[in-house]
Amino acid sequence: MQTPYLLFTLLILSVLAYFIGKRRSVTVVEGALRELHSLPAYYGYYTALWGLIPALFLMLVWLSFEPTWLAHQTVASLPEEIKSLPSSKLNLQLNNIKNVAAGLQVSQRVDPLIVEAAEHYNRLRKISNFALTLVVLTCSLTGIWLAHKKINKDYRARNVVEKIMTGLMILASTIAIFTTVGIVASVVFESLLFFRQVPFFDFLFGLEWSPQTALRADQVGSSGAFGAVPLFAGTLLISSIALIVAVPIGLMSAIYLSEFAGSKFRSTAKPTLEILAGIPTVVYGFFAALTVAPFIRETGELWGWVVSSESALAAGLVMGIMIIPFVSSLSDDVINAVPQSLRDAAYALGATQAETIKQIILPAALPGIVGSILLAASRAIGETMIVVMAAGLAANLTANPLEAVTTVTVQIVTLLVGDQEFDSPKTLSAFALGLMLFVVTLALNVIALHIVRKYREQYE
Partner 1 sequence: MNTVTQSKPESVSRMKTLINKSMSAKPVNFQGEMGATVGSIHADNPRITCRNVNVFYAENHAIQDINLDIGTNEVISLIGPSGCGKSTFLRCLNRMNDTVEGCRVSGEIKIDDVDVYSKHLDVVPLRAQVGMVFQKPNPFPKSIYDNIAYGPKIHGLASTKAELDQIVESSLRKAGLWDEVKDRLDQPGTGLSGGQQQRLCIARTLSVEPEVILMDEPCSALDPIATAKIEQLIDELRQRYTIAIVTHSMQQAARVSQRTAYFHLGKLIEVGKTSDVFTNPLHELTQDYITGRFG
Judged by beta carbon, residue 346 or residue 374, the one nearer partner 1 is 346
**Bridge partners (DSSP) listed for residue 315:** none
Judged by beta carbon, residue 282 or residue 345, the one nearer partner 1 is 345
Kindly state the smallest distance separating residue 457's Cβ from partner 1, in Å. Answer: 4
Judged by beta carbon, residue 78 or residue 360, the one nearer partner 1 is 360
CA angle at 20 for the pair 16 and 22, rounded to the nearest 5°: 115
Kindly state the smallest distance separating residue 248's Cβ from partner 1, in Å. Answer: 24
Which residues contact residue 209 at a Cβ distance below 8 angstroms, ignoring those fewer than 6 apart? 225, 226, 227, 228, 229, 230, 231, 395, 411
Rounded to an integer, what distance in angstroms lies between the CA atom of residue 426 and that of residue 433?
11
Q: Are 429 and 328 contacting, i.e. CB atoms less than 8 angstroms apart? A: no
Kindly state the smallest distance separating residue 330's Cβ from partner 1, in Å. Answer: 20
Kindly state the smallest distance separating residue 351's Cβ from partner 1, in Å. Answer: 5
Judged by beta carbon, residue 210 or residue 267, the one nearer partner 1 is 267
Contacts 24+ apart (CB under 8 A), 265-269: none
Q: Are 390 and 310 contacting, i.e. CB atoms less than 8 angstroms apart? A: yes
Judged by beta carbon, residue 304 or residue 350, the one nearer partner 1 is 350
Judged by beta carbon, residue 345 or residue 399, the one nearer partner 1 is 345
Kindly state the smallest distance separating residue 262's Cβ from partner 1, in Å. Answer: 7
CA angle at 335 for the pair 332 and 339, rounded to the nearest 5°: 140
Residues of the shown chain interacting with partner 1 in the complex, contacts defined by CB under 8 A: 262-263, 339-352, 355, 359-360, 363-364, 457-460
Rounded to an integer, what distance in angstroms lies between the CA atom of residue 450 and that of residue 460?
20
Distance of CA 101 to the CA centre of its chain: 36
Kindly state the smallest distance separating residue 333's Cβ from partner 1, in Å. Answer: 18
Judged by beta carbon, residue 346 or residue 433, the one nearer partner 1 is 346
- Output the CA–CA distances (angstroms, integers) from residue 426 to 145, 200, 230, in the order listed: 60, 15, 16
Kindly state the smallest distance separating residue 376's Cβ from partner 1, in Å. Answer: 25
Q: Which of 48, 60, 45, 61 is nearest to 10 (CA)?
A: 48
